[in-house]
Chains A and B, each alone.
Chain A
Amino acid sequence: MYAQMVKTDGTRVRSLDEMEPHERAFQERVDAGQKIEPKEWMPDGYRKTLVRQISQHAHSEIVGQLPEGNWISRAPTLERKAILLAKVQDEAGHGLYLYCAAETLGISRDEMYEQLHSGKAKYSSIFNYPTLTWADIGAIGWLVDGAAIMNQVPLQRCSYGPYARAMVRICKEESFHQRQGFDALMRMVKGIPAQKAMVQDALNRWWWPSLMMFGPSDDASVHSVQSMAWKIKQNSNDELRQKFVDQTVPQAEYLGLTVPDPDLKWNEEKGGYDFGEPDWEEFFNVIAGNGPCNAERLNARKQAWDDGAWFRDGLTAHAQKTAAHSVAAE
Chain B
Amino acid sequence: MSSEWPLWEVFIRGQHGLNHRHVGSLHAPDAEMAVNNARDVYTRRNEGVSIWVVKSSEITASAPSEKGPLFEPSNSKVYRHPTFFDIPDEVGHM
Contact = CB atoms under 8 A, between A and B. Distances in A.
The answer to whether A and B belong to the same complex is yes
Interface of A: 37, 39-41, 86, 89-90, 93, 96-97, 100, 103, 108-110, 165-166, 169, 309, 312-313, 315-319, 322-323
B64 A109 contact: no
B4 A109 contact: yes
Given A315-B33, A319-B33, A323-B30, A309 B2 contact: yes
B7 A103 contact: yes
A37 B63 CA distance: 11
B49 interface: no
Interface size range on B against A: 20 to 34
Given A100-B24, A110-B4, A318 B64 contact: no
A190 to B, nearest CB: 29
Contacts of A97: 24
B30 A100 contact: no
B63 A108 contact: no
A105 to B, nearest CB: 13
A97 B24 CA distance: 7
A230 B44 CA distance: 33
B1 A100 contact: no
Interface string B53-65: 0000000010110
Main secondary structure of the interface of A (DSSP, over half): helix
Nearest to B30: A319
A317 B73 CA distance: 49
Contact of A89 (B3, B7, B44): B44
Nearest to A309: B2
Given A40-B64, A93-B41, A315 B24 contact: no
Contact of B61 (A39, A110, A316): A39
B7 A169 contact: no
Contacts of B63: 39
Contacts of B25: 100, 103
B4 A169 contact: no
A96 B30 contact: no
Contacts of B24: 97, 100, 165-166, 169
A203 B86 CA distance: 66
Contacts of A109: 4, 27
Nearest to B5: A316
B38 to A, nearest CB: 11
29 contacts: A37-B64, A39-B61, A39-B63, A39-B64, A40-B64, A41-B64, A86-B44, A89-B40, A90-B44, A93-B44, A96-B26, A100-B24, A100-B25, A100-B26, A103-B7, A103-B25, A109-B4, A109-B27, A165-B24, A169-B23, A309-B2, A312-B2, A312-B5, A312-B29, A315-B29, A316-B3, A316-B5, A318-B29, A319-B29
A141 B92 CA distance: 57
Q: Which 6 pairs show the lowest CB-CB distances between chains A and B?
A: A319-B30, A319-B29, A315-B29, A40-B64, A313-B1, A100-B25
A103 B9 CA distance: 13
A39 B60 CA distance: 13
A90 B45 CA distance: 11
Given A316-B29, A322-B30, 11 more contacts: A37-B64, A39-B61, A39-B63, A86-B44, A100-B24, A108-B4, A165-B24, A309-B2, A313-B2, A316-B3, A319-B29
Nearest to B41: A93
Nearest to A165: B24
Contacts of A318: 29-30
Contacts of A41: 64
